[in-house]
Structure 1
């Protein structure tokens, strides 16, 4: 019998426990899971909520944007529907806040001042313009879970474990809810 997406995600957590790390590309199992309608938007909003809930020391503009994101996400939850105009406005402000680029020898790279705000921006990009692109969902999950530290390198490692576990639990709960709703 083929392993479920939840089981595959759980095996990533087990690998982190056993080896101390797992390859980031192991999260590609989510791409197939996102094929079912509604899952990608629900996942993107969940990531945005996780990022907005983080208590991140921030500059005044970043703190204000984070507060606006929390308010928007609370409104989406309360209404049970997306608010595209408000989402587009916040997305534009988030993008403008982190629109600084620096030139390296081989390319120009974006300067990220706040990972939480970038996660929210990318989640809104999915909701507004790419609600069926599982590749973007995978990239969002990878960016959410990836941890870089001098003692760890850049992949799924000790500090990533809780985030991969949370995604596994979200996937399992979403599937239970879909079955219950179908009946």
Structure 2
């Protein structure tokens, strides 16, 4: 039986189908959901795995980071259900160093992001390693993963966001089903 969070995520997907977009703030429903123990770590790992698999067509250091991320997050043996802690920390440090350029604007320093999917792997590892621990951190990662820029709607949830929202709904349903066992 779908929960309230599942129903609300489905409503966001339906709104995108009807109107072409939805306000990204509607994902705040996840904050309450992330209050349950262990959901943040599992979500961070799930986002990092998915982002690591999207790194096609990059070259140089970014390609090496995607390769390392895939090896750690998606290519481990079934006997290891979770990535190794030390290897995850090493990868996280490399990801932070790779995108550690800042440009000073009049309102303060701005971090320059060269590859969005590598940032998602980094942020997912933040949750997995416990460096970010609040439900708000989980919501922010979900928003960063699902958002898509479209000049008509800005950075919001729109057509290309739909697939990621469907996957998020599936993740929520799977986690809740496992907790109910």
State the TM-score, normalizing by the size of structure 2.
0.91
- Show structure 1 runs of 4+ deviating over 2 A: 74-78, 129-132, 149-152
Q: Aligned pairs, how many?
A: 179
Asked if residue 60 in structure 1 is aligned to residue 63 in structure 2, the reply is no
Comparing 81-90 and 27-36, the one that deviates more: 81-90
Q: Separation in 2 of the partners of 1:97 and 1:15?
A: 37
- 1:155-166 equivalences under 5 Å are 155-166=156-167
State the TM-score, normalizing by the size of structure 1.
0.91
**Unaligned segments of structure 1, at least 5 residues:** none
Q: Please give the root-mean-square deviation of Cα atoms over the aligned residues, in Å.
A: 1.8
Residue equivalent to 1:135: 136
User: Residues 31 and 135 of structure 2 are in contact (CA less than 8 Å); yes or no, is this contact kept in structure 1?
Assistant: yes
Q: Separation in 2 of the partners of 1:101 and 1:10?
A: 38
Residue equivalent to 2:93: 92
Residue equivalent to 1:45: 45
User: Residues 72 and 87 of structure 1 are in contact (CA less than 8 Å); yes or no, is this contact kept in structure 2?
Assistant: yes
- 1:160-175 equivalences under 5 Å are 160-175=161-176
Q: Separation in 1 of the partners of 2:160 and 2:70?
A: 24
- Deviation, 1:178, is 1.6
Q: Separation in 2 of the partners of 1:62 and 1:122?
A: 16
- Deviation, 1:134, is 1.1
* Distance verdict in 2 for CA 1:9–1:89, change over 3 Å: same
Secondary structure in 1 aligned to 2:76? helix
Q: Separation in 1 of the partners of 2:9 and 2:55?
A: 26
Q: Deviations over 1:64-92 (max 9, x none)?
A: 00010011113386412342211111111
**Unaligned segments of structure 2, at least 5 residues:** none
- Deviation, 1:119, is 0.3
